[in-house]
Amino acid sequence: MSLGLIASDIPLAERYDLALVDLDGVAYRGHEPIPNAATGLGGARAAGMRLVFVTNNASREPQSVASQLTELDIPTSSDEVMTAAQAAAALLRTRLEPGARVLVVGGAGLFTAVHDAGFVIVESADEEPVAVAQGFAPELGWAQLAEAAYAIQRGAWHVASNLDLSLPTARGFAPGNGSLVRAVQAATGVEPSSAGKPSPTMYHLAVERAGASSPLVVGDRLDTDLAGARSGGYPGLHVLTGVNGGRDAVLAEPGLRPHYIGADLLSLLVPHEAPVQAAEGWWTCGESAARATEGVLELTGPQGVDLIRAACGAAWATVDAGGSVDADSVPDLAVGNA
């Protein structure tokens, strides 16, 4: 699949039969709705696109996630939610037999997923668990992290639901599961296995569950959502409502690049232009254009998604040809509608 942006002459909701949609920063922010999310997802459903919400959050039960979405005017059932807790349990099953003892450090969603996978949940390293399953929960403290460290030092397999360093909330970015995992890793010196994005495990599970033939990943984070799309071989839509903005996309390494860029979830309902190479090194998209000259990015045209697309075309082509783009020459790039 192309390492650059690609075009779609029809709305994405008509081209793809399933959207694998991230939650925080895409469908909502903390407990607050994101503008146009309900309209975009509702329109995608009306066009025949199915939805599965795929989240690195392992603390909550799928039904709890579905209820929150429904309250935000995004009607959702629990079987349309795939959590990192479910992916962690699936990863445990690749090496452990049912009945194996697992120390769970996390929230209710992780406890339920590990239990439903057939494992015996223990609370102490002294109960000789063969694995530690670690996921985020706001109530986690030193005692639980220490218990995990003791078990891992004794040989237990460390499985993390995800390695996100930060967690978007309504008040800003808070420490995520990856930050807590690093604390345990620092104490043990053992690198954990991870089930969450950017591993494509959850995407594969969701596609299999839905029986989809043409899935599209939708996310706001390049290092998790879109990296997982690339590693899993899925096209990815980067929406600019969360962690990573347009400037980040322009500077993205090849393995983190999206295939489409949109302002928000309304971008599921429209065709997408891709930048094209023009004369004198310019890349154009709509009324916008960009080129990289001696490592300096030049831009012309109105602010918006097309300018970001053109900038990605110019910057990525330069890097892929062995050149470089000075990050200081890439401005913050504002967006309007997709």
pLDDT tens sequence across 16-75: 999 999 999 999 988 899 999 999 999 999 999 999 999 988 888 999 999 999 999 999
Contact 15, 9 (CB under 8 A): no
**Backbone torsions φ then ψ of 96, nearest 5 degrees:** -115, 145
Q: Choose, from 24, 164, 220, 306, the residue flagged as catalytic.
A: 24
Determine if the peptide bond prior to 175 is cis (ω within 30°).
no
pTM check: above 0.85: yes
| Mean pLDDT of all residues in 95-100 | 97
Residue whose C-alpha is closest to residue 272's, from 216, 334, 214: 216
192 vs 84: CA distance, rounded Å: 15
pLDDT over 50 (residue 140): yes
Told to judge if 225 belongs to the known catalytic residues of this protein, a careful annotator would answer no
99 vs 134: CA distance, rounded Å: 18
Q: Which residues contact 189 (CB under 8 A, 6 or more apart)?
A: none
| Pair of tokens at residue 334 | 């504002």
| Pair of tokens at residue 321 | 């040809």
pLDDT over 70 (residue 334): yes
300 vs 290: CA distance, rounded Å: 6
- Where is average pLDDT lowest: 2-6, 8-12, 39-43, 228-232? 2-6
End-to-end CA distance of the chain: 23
pLDDT the model gives residue 166: 85
The C-alpha torsion from 185 through 190 and 196 to 200, rounded to 10°, is: 150
Q: How confident is the model at residue 245 (pLDDT cuts 50, 70, 90)?
A: very high
Told to judge if 116 belongs to the known catalytic residues of this protein, a careful annotator would answer no
Residue type present at position 110:
L
Q: Is 213 exposed, middle or buried, given 0-12, 13-18 or 19+ CB atoms closer than 10 A?
A: exposed
**β-pairing verdict for 236-239 and 296-300:** unpaired
Mean pLDDT score across all residues of the chain: 95
Q: What is the share, in percent, of the chain residues with pLDDT greater than 70? A: 99
Q: Choose, from 9, 22, 116, 328, the residue flagged as catalytic.
A: 22
Cα Rg, the chain, nearest whole Å: 21
Helix residue ranges, H only, the chain: 12-15, 37-46, 62-71, 84-93, 108-116, 142-153, 177-188, 201-210, 227-232, 246-250, 305-320
Q: How confident is the model at residue 1 (pLDDT cuts 50, 70, 90)?
A: low
- Kindly report, residue by residue over 154-208, the tens digit of the pLDDT: 999 999 999 988 887 778 889 999 999 999 999 999 999 998 899 998 999 899 9
